Amino acid sequence: MTRLNGKTAVITGGATGIGRAAAKRFVEEGAFVFIFGRRQEALDAAVADLGANARAVKGSVSNEADLDRLYAAVKAERGSLDIVFANAGAGGPLPLGQITAEHIDETFDTNVKGTIFTVQKALPLMGPGGSIILTGSSAGTTGAPGFTAYSASKAAVRNLARTWAEDLKGTGIRVNVLSPGATATELAKEALGEEGQKAYGAMTPLQRMADPAEIGAVAAFLASSDSSFMTASEVAVDGGLAQL
């Protein structure tokens, strides 16, 4: 398929996991992709795998200067931007009673502030037909024990799409949320182990965790004109976890 032929995309958190799977799908469908992340080694490995239509920029979404460098690179090489996949996220477990200000700041700096500035700084390069995709989470709908800050931050991301769809009226730019459930990324495999993955998978009606490529496929749909009449929507790719 070449649904994204000639399009330019930015994917934050693009070196591993869902971001890398989306980058691979975008390139396969004809896009030129800039991946953005904090670890140079992972970025280099991703670009080597993705090929000639991929570039990497090192930085953090919580640092505005890093985002400025990202979009300067996009403008210099491509001139404009069609797709923003604001995928970078952070947040580990810390139960009520043990939550610290530092934990809240780290989670919200990445998931909320980082998402806001990722999108806001992209807008001058975007025009009609542009697609913005925000990574939400099933935890933003259901909550998740021990994940106060993370769940709240992802609920905030869901609301950003609703607000921005209003703000972007008349621009021809769409904004939607992709909300995965438990996904078998490299980080999840390392953190959960085989038994933990089985336990998380058993929580879903489909009785398994998602493959990152399955999330990437839905990102490609939201990036393409196949979703041209969608904005302010949330697409749950969670095996039914938050739907029952």
Query: What tens digit of pLDDT does each residue of 123-140 get?
Result: 999 999 999 999 999 999
Query: Domain containing 70 — which CATH number?
Result: 3.40.50.720
Residue where the block lists tokens 């609703």: 162
Residue 196: the pLDDT is: 79
The tokens describing 63, both together, are 């640092």
15 within domain boundaries: yes
Strand (E) or helix (H) holding 59 = none
Please, which residues bridge with residue 134 across strands? 86, 177
Domain range for 178 is: 8-237
pLDDT tops 90 at residue 149: yes
Mean pLDDT (the chain) is 95
Cα–Cα nearest to 134, from 73, 223, 70: 223
Report the domain count for the chain.
Answer: 1
232 within domain boundaries: yes
pLDDT tops 90 at residue 187: no
Question: Span 106-116, mean pLDDT?
Answer: 98
33 within domain boundaries: yes
Active site residue 200: no
3 within domain boundaries: no
Active site residue 150: yes
Q: What is the pTM of this model?
A: 0.96
83 within domain boundaries: yes
From 7, 24, 121, 150, active-site residue = 150
Neighbour count for residue 241 (Cβ, 10 Å)? 23
Cα–Cα nearest to 143, from 31, 240, 242: 242
Residue 1: the pLDDT is: 76
242 within domain boundaries: no
**Is the torsion defined by CA of 57, 61, 63, 69 positive or negative?**
positive
16 within domain boundaries: yes
Confidence of residue 46 (pLDDT cuts 50, 70, 90): very high
2 within domain boundaries: no
From 24, 71, 154, 200, active-site residue = 154
